[in-house]
Amino acid sequence: MTRHMFAGTLTSEGFVSFYDEILPIEETRNTIIIKGPSGSGKSTYIKKLAADFENEGYVVERLHCSNDVNSLDGVCIPQLGICVFDGTAPHEINPTVPIVEQVFNTSKFIDVEKVLLSRDELTSLIAEKSALSQRASNYLKSAYYVYRNNTHIFEGLMNKTALNKLSVKLVAGLPAISSSGKGTNRRFFATALTPNGHKNFTNTFLNKSFSSRVYMLKARDGMGADLILSDIRAAANKRGFDTESFLCPIKPSKIEHLTIPELRLCYTTSNRYHPLRAQVYSEINLKKLCAPMCMYEGEIKYNDRLFKKLASKTMSAMQASRSVHEQIEQLYIRAMDFKKLDKAYQQLTISLKKAARGK
């Protein structure tokens, strides 16, 4: 069984990464941090490793690259305590606990002389990519301020007393205490703006394999769905249940979806950007707690159009940046000794599988 998500993505606050908190260190048996340049086979290896453990029947978490959704920046097998990450920028990771966390460096398999022949071209391409990435970040930050205009409107129209009562009711529906001890919270993104458009992985963890009860909150941003999910998360953790918070790439402090794995519970926000395509246990329409918005209708529609344009400009800049990134990859690919690298990757896989079997 496989779950797909992002552990890092471009947000209105810049690139936000949670790769350093995928698994608590006490649950980690072996973490491999792969360092090395673009084009050195990091994603190809991670995808192959993910497929190997999937074929052995383990639940695998595929951590996608938001700049190239078909690539993986990481894989986690929670049941075995195994993680393998691409530890290069913008989601740079360094070992904090030696032996448990180890570095595998692909730079050892590069012909440095071949790279030096392309030094000027590489320097130019890296600068171009950096400028395009900054442009994407600026557009997304601008989109956030337009987004805030509408959230302010909806916040002012909500029946806050009714919203609070609903939150209290949902929290009261949780079991009193878990036998597992103190609850922890893992953070991810289920959605991201990418060079190929808005990508949504929500439905990969809402199916019956992972969630037996799905509560769907129908709401626009600003209607309080995130406040309810924050209350449920805090209460669940306090009662000893682990949670997974899937955050918003526009406002990364805001929870869009929440799971409580031990209870097979999921609370999800459904809107135009991540519509729900799963069987729902209970539907909660927060729009019913919102006062009529007739006098703001024109402004809301204007903000929606402007946000859409700025989000589109963000993704266009990301697409241009990705194109330059691919040119950089080709320069490194020509300098790689893939025969030796593949053998090293094979040995890495063997050592990970030995660790998984406790040998």
What is the pLDDT at residue 23? 87
List 16's β-bridge partners, or say none: 9
Q: The pTM is what?
A: 0.93
Residues contacting 143, CB < 8 A, separation 6+ = 12, 250, 307, 310, 311, 314
What is the pLDDT at residue 70? 94
Half-sphere exposure in the Cβ direction for 326 (13 Å, CA): 10
Q: What is the pLDDT of residues 81-132, one digit of tens each?
A: 999 999 998 988 887 776 677 899 999 999 999 999 999 999 999 999 999 9
Tokens of 303: 């903000």
What is the pLDDT at residue 274? 77
Residues contacting 286, CB < 8 A, separation 6+ = 158, 163, 217, 218, 219, 223, 224, 225
Q: How large is the angle between the packed helices 119-157 and 297-333, nearest 10 degrees?
A: 160
What is the pLDDT at residue 210? 77
Location of structure tokens 């009529």: 292
Q: Which residues of the chain are under the pLDDT cut of 70? A: 98-99, 179-180, 358-359
What is the pLDDT at residue 110? 93
Residue 294, number of CB atoms within 10 A of its CB: 7
d(Cα 279, Cα 117) in Å, to the nearest integer?
Answer: 57
Domain boundaries, the chain: 2-109+337-356, 159-290
d(Cα 6, Cα 18) in Å, to the nearest integer?
Answer: 9
What is the pLDDT at residue 109? 93
Strand ranges, E, within the chain: 2-5, 8-11, 14-17, 30-35, 60-65, 68-77, 82-86, 101-105, 185-189, 191-194, 197-200, 213-218, 243-247, 255-260, 265-270, 282-285
What is the pLDDT at residue 179? 66
List 98's β-bridge partners, or say none: 101
CA angle, 24 as apex, 23 and 29 as ends, to 5°? 75
Residue 325, number of CB atoms within 10 A of its CB: 21
Q: What is the pLDDT of residues 276-329, one digit of tens each?
A: 777 788 999 999 999 998 899 999 999 999 999 999 999 999 999 999 999 999
